[in-house]
Amino acid sequence: MRLENRIAVVTGAASGIGAQAAVRLAGEGAKLFLMDVNRAGLEETRARIAAAGGEAESCACDVSDESAVDAAVQRALARFGRIDVLVNVAGVQVTKLLVDTTKAEYDKMMDINLGGTFLLMRKILPLMKAQGSGAIVNCASELAFVGYHELAVYTATKGAMVSLTRSAALEAIPYGVRVNCVCPGATDTPIFWEGETDPEKKRAMLAQVKVEKPIGRLITTDEVANGIIFLASDEASGVVGTCLVIDGGFTAQ
């Protein structure tokens, strides 16, 4: 097991990439502290981990709320005593033209996607520095590197996450702490489908993926989790400030 007895905090753990990453990290021996605003989804992830013999605690938390983040981290420390891995996955997407995006929608994406990542890192990085070890993995996007119609603000948050990761990595590595990020392409998660249930519209969305993506399909949450596990483990001991793009060739075009 690559992460045996390590303590991992995962945000956005109620569904999608965050949930699968948490389950897979537990499978590698880590003990999990799960964070999300979705209590029911958190409990489902916790139950999946427990059913496989793992250990996890769930904590409902809005990562854009500084006091809530502080309280959650203190709770994680009270339960486990230390934090070895931080995986920032929590994020939201509003698909609109820039001129149609409201200030409230801009604030929401910035405060959760970028702000939540910042708040968790600001709280946990000093703990990792003090213990002389740790790994932080931020979940950005292929859209950190390219523009995309109707996603101007979302792509801005992801580009900023990449920059935050690179600069924080330089700050952290003298203390034995590695900071990296994964940049998934279109992945089979709730954020991709955006609540769409109409079969015809879903088929049209998948047809567009086949046109745009050289791999011809959606990325799976397991494929992203593979990257997260690698970056969190000692196998990536020399990997610092990198962006692991898992996009089926989209940004290679």
Number of domains in the chain: 1
Neighbours of 166 (CB within 10 A): 16
C-alpha span between 18 and 225 (Å, rounded): 8
Helix count (H) and strand count (E) of the chain?
9, 7
6-46 pLDDT tens trace:
999 999 999 999 999 999 999 999 999 999 999 999 999 99
Residue 198 is predicted with a pLDDT of 86
Place of tokens 């392409």: 185
Task: Give phi and psi for 74, each to the nearest 5.
Answer: -65, -35
What is the reported pTM?
Answer: 0.96
233-243 pLDDT tens trace:
999 999 999 99
Whether 200 is in a domain gets the answer: yes
- Rg of the chain over Cα atoms, rounded to whole angstroms, equals 17
Give the closest residue to 91 by CA, choosing from 205, 182, 213: 182
Q: Is 134 helix (H, G, I), strand (E, B) or coil?
A: strand
- The CATH number of whichever domain residue 235 belongs to comes to 3.40.50.720
Catalytic positions are 154
Contact by Cβ (8 Å): 210, 247: no
C-alpha span between 228 and 199 (Å, rounded): 32
Whether 253 is in a domain gets the answer: no
> Which residues constitute the domain of residue 106?
7-246
Whether 217 is in a domain gets the answer: yes
